[in-house]
Every structure is written in structure tokens, then in C-alpha cells.
Chains A and B, each alone.
Chain A
Amino acid sequence: MKQKSKLRMRRTWFIFFMVLPAILIPMVFTYYPMVKGSMMAFQSYNLMNVKNIKWIGFDNFKKLFSHSASNSFYTTMFNTVKWVGISLFFQFTVGFGIALLLKKKFPGSGLYQALIFFPWAVSGFIIGIMWRWMFNGTSGVINDILMKMHLLRQPMGWLAEKGTSLYSCIAANIWYGIPFFTIMITAALRGVSEELYEAADVDGASPLQKFTNITVPCIRSVLLLTVLLRVIWIFNFPDLIYSMTQGGPAGSSNIITSYMMQLVYSLDYGMASAVGVLCILFLVIFVMVYMGFTKYGKEEA
């Protein structure tokens, strides 16, 4: 009897030690820095003077939401919605379209897929620099093409106009993000059983009916998950904006995360952290709403 409990004790300890790294590593390397970093949001934490760090409550947040000529945080938030919404819509629809075309294997489809995947494999900063020169107002290739097509009479400073800078960045982002959807959805499509389509053919279903009644429901969970992932990733993707416009001109193409980068480089870690905390807050709210709305994971059973 006694021996049995001893054995159980040892087993409990054994399990505990086995699980320990899985608890400790995220604690030390993810949650501790996160909590510590979030604390800066409530401090006046400026690397210009680390001797003068003090608690200031919600002052950093108040400053973010205050109305003044130099504060562009409201524009920044609105831009973020546009940046995520428009990018996602086109990435998803075009990516889905290409995936449908790639569903049937054809000679060279493997190579074609690899080529499609290419933009996804390049660093965001490099893509940003590439597109910055393409959109350049005086020597950019985009102006050149549009002028040769007689769509544009005078060269345009795409990244220099407040009306076009954000949309130029979005265009680059769409180009960058399409492969992700294509690859994920192609893989999901190949998993859909052919028998379903054969059965539908026997019943005389139209291509549209097959699409809405077989294809979409079968890959629903992949679609929902990829969209969720992409929203979070696009939200957290300041690389393009930072390397293309640095949020300019006059803050017209800043999104929340590129704004946060600017704050970090200005050494005002307190403000940057406040923006970071807001980012987490926004995303948590979004994920909760998204999951509730799509009932993600509830259907399957």
C-alpha cells in the first residue's frame, strides 16, 4: 500500500519534471518579456535618460489619444483598418482563384507552384525596397508602364502623395500575400474527395453549385484559419511600410505597427510599449469576435 503511493508520488514528480521545460521556456522567453515590456507602457521610459524612469499611469495612452496637430494616431488606426481589410480581400480572392486553377495537376504544375510561391520567400524589407524604386516618381518603372499604356500623362509620385501612398503599399502587400493563400488553399483543395464531385455530376449540379456546396464547405476550416492568421500577420507587418514610405508623407501611410517602430527608433520605449499594448488588445478583441462570429471549431463535431 505504502509502496504504491510512493510509486505514484515518483510518477507525479517524473511527469512534473517532464512538463517543466514546456512551462518554463515560454514563461522565461515569452511571457516574462511580454509582461515586463507591457509595464513600460505605464512608465516614462526614455532611453535618452534611463536614470529618470518613473511610473506615470495612463499618461502615454492619454498622449496617444489626445487631439493635437502633431498627433496622427487616429489616422494611423484608420489606416490600419484599410491596410488589413483591402490587403486581405485581394490576397484572399486572387489567391483562392489561382488555387482553383491549380487544383487540377498539369505538366509542370509543380514548377509553376514553386514560382508562385516565390514572393513569399523574400524578406519584407527587400520587397519594400524593390517596390519603393518601382513606385519612384521620377525613375520608377510603374510610371513608365502606365505612361506607355497612355493611362498616365505625367509621372506621378505614388509614395509622395497623401492620397496614394498607403494604397501603393497595399498593392505591394497584395502581391506579397497572394502565394500564401494559393499554397494553403491548393493543398486543402487536393484533399477534397473526387467522389463528391462525381456524385454531384451524376446529380447534374452546375459548376457554381459544386463550388458552393462541395468545395467551400469541405475546406471551410482551412479558409477560416488562413484568414485569421493573415489578419494577424498583416496587422503585424510594418516591414513593407517602413521600407517604402516610413509612414509618410505626413503620416498618411502609417499603420499602428510601423508607428510603433518609429517610436522605438526614437528611443521613447514607454510610448512604443503603450502602442504595443494597444496592438495586443485590438487583436485579442478581433480574435474573440472572429471566433464567435464564425463559430470556428464548433461545426466539425
Chain B
Amino acid sequence: MKKRRIAAMVLAAAMLTGCGGGGGASETTQAPAAGGGDTAKTEAPADAGGGKEASGEAITITLVESLTSPERTAVIREIADKYQADHPNVTIDIVSPPLENADSKITQMLMNGSGADIVEVRDSTITQYATNGWIADLGQYIDAWDEKDTLSESAVDVIHYFQDTAYMIPYGFYQRGLFYRKDWFEEAGLKEPETWQDIYDAGLAITDPANSRFGFSFRGGTSGYQYADTIYWSWIGTEKVAHPNAAYFLKDGDGATIFTLPEVKEALHYYKDLFKNTCPTDSIAWGFSEMVQGFVGGTTAMLIQDPEVIATCSADMQDDQWELVPFPKGPSGQAVGPNGFAGWGMTSFTEHPAETADFLLFLSNSENNTYFAKNYSTIPIHTNAADKDSYFSEGRFAMYMDMAAEPDVYRHAAYPQMYEAFATYKTEVDVMYQKYLTDEISDDELLTWLDEFWTQAYADEGQKW
């Protein structure tokens, strides 16, 4: 009698500890695939040649990827093999954790202070890695680099993204462009959309819920606020913001935010109208895959997305069905989009900093970076990329070169990711926008919340750009 009761208690306790691990449980099940699997670790051939004595002791450089895909790993492996052929004493290991939790895996490695020499650093992780002192300053290596002069302006900006220290070298950019259904536009006699107003007007003309046709692929789910942000900035122009990477704050505003400006309120109304009148109602829950599926599957006529969608469109649509055009402009005359980036950083605990930096620069040189960018649909970091490969001056990709040619119109801005408060912001902001879009709170309530949140963050953490 008593025994049974105890057994049940023990069982319950066991279940409860399962609860403590809640989120972790799903992570651990994937862990073996990351560490143990042969597929995940692309081992280099043991030794390329006999030149050991000539170039010093044998060393291994471990590179850990985040935005993993088998095709991309193969490209990096190819470049690494090329490097190994020239440096027989160096072995390069590429570790590819599964995409879903790659960043937390990298975080664990960095916290442990071992197991990695080069890590993939993203716009969403650089602040964390640099603040915690996990990645090293590459300044001296870049200064001595013979290819530093062909780096694009954006690349130089990113290199010095965090506190003016060279914590990473980007491998490319994810600039957004506007994809639209050419056939539908021609059918309805609409012109190519150039401004946000064009998007709204065309969207209104095309939207026909009865036939489940809609104007715009709206992102209402996770990270939807990023779309609202780009609309704000297109309305106010980038001259008014304190810094392109902290574009919630006003220039010389001492922590004052853009959310009090009348233009922003106007832009917010535009954002809601766009959603209510030209988008499917369930797009309030859409994320990346629904947006792309909505466009490719023939539900929506317009989509703003990264260049990686070019491949999806090419595969699933006829060539004359769609077109990729520059990011839309706002009333300020500017088109302000995010310039998503990712790249490579060197860990602060690497045992072979000189060799690691040498490989990192090899990976980032014009030839290899252009090759990488072409195969991975990112915008290359060297200005001579188009000379190296006509791919970047022809076809769909040429649009990005057009945008780059007009830097006064096509500008970049980003939310202040360097603030610790950004972690909290990320969990709360989507909910607030969804509440606004479903009429639970008013425009003023949303803007006040945004303003107070960032004014407080500035008061707590000071100026961090």
C-alpha cells in the first residue's frame, strides 16, 4: 500500500524534472547529430603533402558554421581544401551543427572557451559574442591585408560594427528586394512598383479575397516588427537617426527615439492599412516560409525578401511570371532596408591566432568570397566582384548592383541590437504589434510603449553605438 504511493511519487518527481529541462529536452535530442554524426563534421584529408618541415608544426583550425546547409558546407570545404594544398601543415575542420540550434551550440563552445578557432558571427549574435569577450580583434591582420582596399563600404562598416573594433569579417549581405508577379501586374495594367504607396495601390487593385488573391506577403509573425521599422525609416529618412545601426534613436537626441515623430505615426497607419486592405488576414501569423509560399504559390502578388528567395522563385515559377526590383521608397525619397550580414570571427581563445587569421583572410579574399557569394546568394564584400564574375552584373542579381550605384537613395538602417535590452524587446515587440493590428491597443499605446522601452534602455545602458 505504502510502496505504491511512494512509487507514484517517485514517478511524478521524475516527470517534474523532465519539466525543468523543458526547452532543453528538444535540444539534447538533437545534440548527438551535431557532435557524433559523420555527416555533421566534414573531416579534412589527414595530410596533404610532405612539406611539414618547411612550414612548421601541424596545426588544426576548427571552423564552426551557423547558417548551415549541405551545399554551403561543400563550398567552404572546397575553399578550405585549396588553402590546405598551399599550407600542408594546416588541417581545417568544419563543424556544422544543425541549423535550428547552431547559434546556441556556438554559444556553448564560446562559453567553454574551447573547440573553435573560427565561428560564424551574425548580425544577431555579434553583440553577444563581442560583449562577452569571446571573439578577438582582427584589426592588425586586416591592416596588413593586401585586399583591404577593395572591400565595399558596407563591408568596412560591418567589420567595425561593434564599438569600432574589427570583431568580424562579413562574407556577404542579405539585402532585401521587392519580388512581384509580373504577369498579374500586366494583366491589371499596373506599373512596376517603386514606392510603398505603389505597393499599396497595386495591392488594393489586385486583392480579391473571393479568389484568394492578395497584394502583399505580410510578415505578422516572428520578427514582423522589422518590416514596420523599414517603413518608418523610409518615411523619416536616415539623416534623422543617430546611427544606421541604432536607428531607433534620433540624432543628437540624447536618447530620444523616433517613435515620437509624427511621420512615424503616419507610417504606422500605412503599415496597418497595408495589412488590413491588401494582405490575407492570417498573414498576421506568417513567418518566412508562409511569406515565400504565399508568393510562390500564387496567393500574393508582392514579397519583400532576401536574395536567397531568388533560387526558390526560379525553381517554382516561370521566368516571365516574376520580377525582382529595388527596395521600395518612402515619402522621404529614400528606400531604407536592413542590410543583414553574417561573417567569420576569430575566437579570443584560439591557440594559433596568426594561422587562423591567415585562413580567415583567405576565405574572405575577393576570389573566394565572390565564389562563395555566387553559390550562396549573398551580396559579395569586394567591390570588384562583378569583374571577377559576370553573374553579379547580369540577370536577377544585377538589381543589387543598381541599388548599390545609388547610395543616396538606397540606404541601410537597423534596430539597436547592441543593447542588452534587445533580448527582452524581441520577446515582447511582436506581441505588441499583433495587438495593434488586431485593434486591441491604439497607435498611441504602441508608440508610447516603443518610446518608453528604448528611452529606458538608453537610460540604463547609455549610448552604445
Contacts and interface: CB of A to CB of B under 8 A. Distances in A.
Indicate, yes or no, whether A interacts with B.
yes
Given A157-B280, A283-B16, A276 B428 contact: no
B135 interface: no
Interface string B296-312: 01010000000000000
A158 B281 CA distance: 10
B47 interface: no
B284 A249 contact: yes
A154 B12 contact: no
B282 A159 contact: yes
Interface stretch (A113-121, A203-211, A233-241): A233-241
A280 interface: yes
Contacts of A238: 22-23
A216 interface: no
A157 B284 contact: yes
Contacts of A283: 15-16, 19
Contact of A287 (B12, B284, B297, B420): B12
B2 to A, nearest CB: 8
A6 interface: no
A245 B286 CA distance: 9
A248 interface: yes
Interface string A225-260: 100110011011011000001101111000001001
A238 to B, nearest CB: 7
B431 A297 contact: no
B449 A69 contact: yes
B152 interface: no
A49 interface: yes
A228 B15 CA distance: 10
Contacts of A271: 424
B133 A138 contact: no
B26 interface: yes
Interface stretch (A12-20, A95-103, A193-201, A261-269): A261-269
A298 B1 contact: yes
B20 interface: yes
A136 B282 contact: yes
A286 to B, nearest CB: 9
Contacts of B445: 69
A297 B22 contact: no
Interface residues of A, number: 68
Contacts of B18: 232, 236
Given A159-B282, A238-B22, A291-B8, 12 more contacts: A49-B131, A70-B432, A136-B290, A138-B214, A157-B280, A158-B282, A160-B220, A229-B11, A245-B285, A280-B20, A283-B19, A297-B5
Closest 5 CB pairs of A and B: A157-B282, A137-B282, A160-B282, A250-B434, A301-B1
B263 to A, nearest CB: 23
B5 A160 contact: no
Contacts of B424: 266, 268, 271
Given A70-B449, A160-B285, A257-B22, A49 B132 contact: yes
Given A248-B430, A266-B426, A276 B22 contact: yes
Contacts of B5: 291, 296-298
Nearest to B440: A250
A260 B282 CA distance: 25
A250 B438 contact: yes
Contacts of B441: 69
Interface string A160-177: 111001000000000000
Contact of A296 (B8, B221, B290, B428): B8
B427 interface: yes
A183 to B, nearest CB: 18
A87 interface: no
26 contacts: A33-B20, A34-B17, A46-B420, A49-B132, A50-B132, A69-B435, A70-B432, A136-B282, A157-B280, A157-B282, A157-B285, A160-B282, A160-B285, A161-B282, A232-B15, A238-B22, A248-B221, A250-B440, A260-B22, A261-B22, A266-B427, A276-B22, A279-B20, A280-B20, A284-B16, A296-B8
B197 interface: no
Contacts of B8: 225, 228, 291, 296-297
B222 A246 contact: yes
Interface string B395-428: 0000000000000000000000000101110111
Nearest to A296: B8
A287 B9 CA distance: 9
B4 to A, nearest CB: 4
Interface string A39-56: 000000011111110000
B434 A249 contact: yes
Interface of A: 30-31, 33-34, 37-38, 46-52, 69-70, 72, 125, 136-139, 154-155, 157-162, 165, 225, 228-229, 232-233, 235-236, 238-239, 245-246, 248-251, 257, 260-264, 266-268, 271-272, 276, 279-280, 283-284, 287, 291, 296-298, 300-301
A160 B283 contact: yes
B423 A280 contact: no
A228 B7 CA distance: 13
B107 interface: yes
Contacts of B131: 48-49, 51
Contacts of B222: 246
B100 to A, nearest CB: 9
Contact of A228 (B12, B133, B212, B214): B12
Interface string B314-357: 00000000000000000000000000000000000000000000
B111 interface: yes
B62 to A, nearest CB: 22
B296 to A, nearest CB: 11
Interface in B274-288: 280-285, 287
A70 B132 contact: no
Contacts of A50: 111, 132
B195 interface: no
Contacts of B11: 229
Nearest to B430: A248
Contact of A235 (B19, B426, B438): B19
B284 A160 contact: yes
Contacts of B127: 48
B209 A276 contact: no
Contact of B22 (A47, A125, A229, A279): A279
Contact of B23 (A70, A250, A264, A298): A264
A248 B434 CA distance: 8
Nearest to A29: B17
B377 interface: no
Nearest to B12: A287
Given A138-B282, A300-B1, A266 B22 contact: no
A301 to B, nearest CB: 4
Given A160-B284, A250-B440, A276 B427 contact: no
